[in-house]
Amino acid sequence: MPASLRRHRRTKIVATLGPSSSTPEMIARLFQTGADVFRLNFSHGTHEDHAARIAMIRALEDKIDRPIGILADVQGPKLRVGRFGGGRVQIQTGQGFRLDLNPTPGDVRRVNLPHPEIIEAAAIGSTLLLDDGKLRLRVVHKRPDALETEVVVGGALSDRKGVNVPDIVLPIPALTEKDRADLAFALAQGVQYVGLSFVQRPEDVAEARELTDGRAWILTKLEKPQALENLDAILALSDAVMVARGDLGVELPPEEVPLAQKRIVRAARLLGKPVVVATQMLESMIAAPAPTRAEASDVATAVFDGADAVMLSAETAAGQFPLEAVSIMDRIVARVERDEGWRATVEATRPVPEASAADAIAAAARQIAHTIGAQAIVAFTESGSTALRMARERAASPVIGLTPDIETARRLAVVWGVHAKVVATLHSMTDAVARAGRAAFSEGFAAHGEEIVVAAGVPFGQRGTTNALRVATVK
């Protein structure tokens, strides 16, 4: 394996593909520069577009012999106003404005709201946000077919702008008919993670779990205040989560978003479930070759919080400097992880091991590796659960996840500190120790004569049986 493809950081990078990054050459360069997982945004593009990108990623994977994770991010229910007679109006603070079911083009006094479920669920005093929160309305009167509102914050409003309802639980599923078709397509294409948008309730995640049937990890995007109210139950049903700060920042006051981020990361880490921090991380790099100081600090904060991964959206999908965005994110993450303060924070925030053999083995592996200065912890894992337990420990030694299942290896691409590799099925602990030593050497983690810690489950081939720990010398 080329030495440059061994990451010298633990926090992973997710890069979104789009018009700026959809050639085999660019995808290869993005991976070489530091992208660990590629995101496909199903809010844009056709199935043919996404199939072509997936084929490029898999061709690269075969060429470099490294597992690559793919995230299919489905759109979710998009709520929008209708159209205006002139395409655009200017509504003033303090005026009345009606949202109704009448499909007639709107004017400065009213517009169609083609979502009867909003009208039904709203109450006097409910807030509606338009155009990513730029305009704010308050419901002052309700009829069966309309909401009369007062404009709290006015401004320009044009055709088909989005509607957010931060204080209303809507009786709509997180998966639309489009999402179901996209989900079926993505699963048939063999993606590793399915991103669920606009989740409000645990039932939304349960529905997706039933549809995926274990074929991909459910990565729940937390972007609604209602989801935060049900955080523990949603996390319990999710395989991974994303702090989706775009819509979360629309529906929550700005001062609440950093606290929500920290709460979500902390809760996911406690459960040992991967958590991705996303949206506007290096937003200025859509049009500039370098980030602002505030953006660099934002990425560093996510790393200090303990995120498994940080994500680039438009920066790599549609920006002018996709490679530079991945490169600077890689540099920021690596620099933070060399800081003594970061390591002290990691040590201080480590969750207490759960009362299970797997957690006891993971905690012991970290402690032994620290005591003897092991070059790596090698975890044999069928389903990925052993590697996830090791990642939860946030060991100072890197973790090599060895698995006979290519899908497991790909899924581990988003997990903190885990370098995944596919190996043949094992039959004995002696074989495991020998294989671990060879992998640590060939992947550039340890030299001959250096020590590693090996964790495995005996008998081999059974999931959830991590019960053996060895210290070995690389030969």
Q: Which two tokens stand for residue 267?
A: 């809760």
> Is residue 335 flagged as an active site residue?
no
Q: Which two tokens stand for residue 219?
A: 């990565």
Alpha carbon distance 17, 53 (integer Å): 8
Q: Which two tokens stand for residue 395?
A: 């060991």
Q: In this structure, are residues 307 and 391 in contact, taking their beta carbons and an 8 Å threshold? A: no
> Is residue 279 flagged as an active site residue?
yes
Q: In this structure, are residues 124 and 65 in contact, taking their beta carbons and an 8 Å threshold? A: no
Cβ partners under 8 Å of residue 185, min gap 6:
47, 50
Alpha carbon distance 77, 84 (integer Å): 22
> Is residue 39 flagged as an active site residue?
yes
Nearest to 272 by CA among 436, 375, 416: 416
How far is the CA of 359 from the CAs of 234, 355, 400, in angstroms? 22, 7, 17
Considering the candidates 7, 80, 83, 335, report the single residue annotated as catalytic: 80
The three-class DSSP label of residue 404 is coil
> Is residue 209 flagged as an active site residue?
no
Alpha carbon distance 99, 91 (integer Å): 13
The three-class DSSP label of residue 51 is helix
Q: Which two tokens stand for residue 53?
A: 């990108």
Strand-pairing partners, residue 162, are: 80
Strand-pairing partners, residue 278, are: 244
Considering the candidates 10, 221, 411, 435, report the single residue annotated as catalytic: 221
Residue with the two structure tokens 């001062």:
255
Considering the candidates 149, 212, 220, 279, report the single residue annotated as catalytic: 279
Q: Which two tokens stand for residue 361?
A: 């083995």
**Side chain identity at residue 389, one-letter code:** R
Would you please indicate which residues are annotated as catalytic (active-site) residues?
39, 80, 221, 279
